[in-house]
Amino acid sequence: MKRLSHYDAAGNARMVDVSGKEETRRSARAHAFVRIAPRVLRELPRNPKGNPLEVARIAGIAAAKRTSELIPLCHPLMLTHVDVEATVEKNGIRIVSSASTNAQTGVEMEALTAAAAAALTVYDMTKALDKGIEIQDLYLLEKTGGKSGEYRRPRRGGRS
């Protein structure tokens, strides 16, 4: 069984020492879905707080840049790019984030943090219209670079 690197031999949590790793180009994409009732989706253009999709995009970018402050054992990274796309669909808003860097460790957590923060922002900006909004399906879509190489999430049956 593979040993998790965030634990020492005694089982204590630790920050991984990446100083001996080679700096490489790394990227990651993540996904989240905010399930929203169709009547609420129809009201988005008239949201008194502003455009939830644009605010969510900016929130996701800002969150990615602060991932190491939110997730205790993450390394602070100099991100070279972050983007968040929020698309209105029949049953809600699909969020896809991406992050990239040239570093000794990956950006999966930054992409996931961006997607989560964007989803939470959509909720915050629409909760006055419906408290039953759900954030679903937060997961890594793909990552590149590093010792473990490439990962692509296998495509599954239906989408959210």
What is the crossing angle of helices 52-65 and 108-126, to 10°? Answer: 150
Which amino acid is located at 129 in the chain? L
Catalytic site includes residue 124: yes
Is the distance from CB of 111 to CB of 153 less than 8 angstroms? no
Looking at 8, 17, 83, 124, which residue is catalytic?
124
Tokens representing 108 are 């999966």
- List all residues 6 or more positions away from 158 whose beta carbon is below 8 Å from its beta carbon: none
Give the catalytic positions in this structure.
124
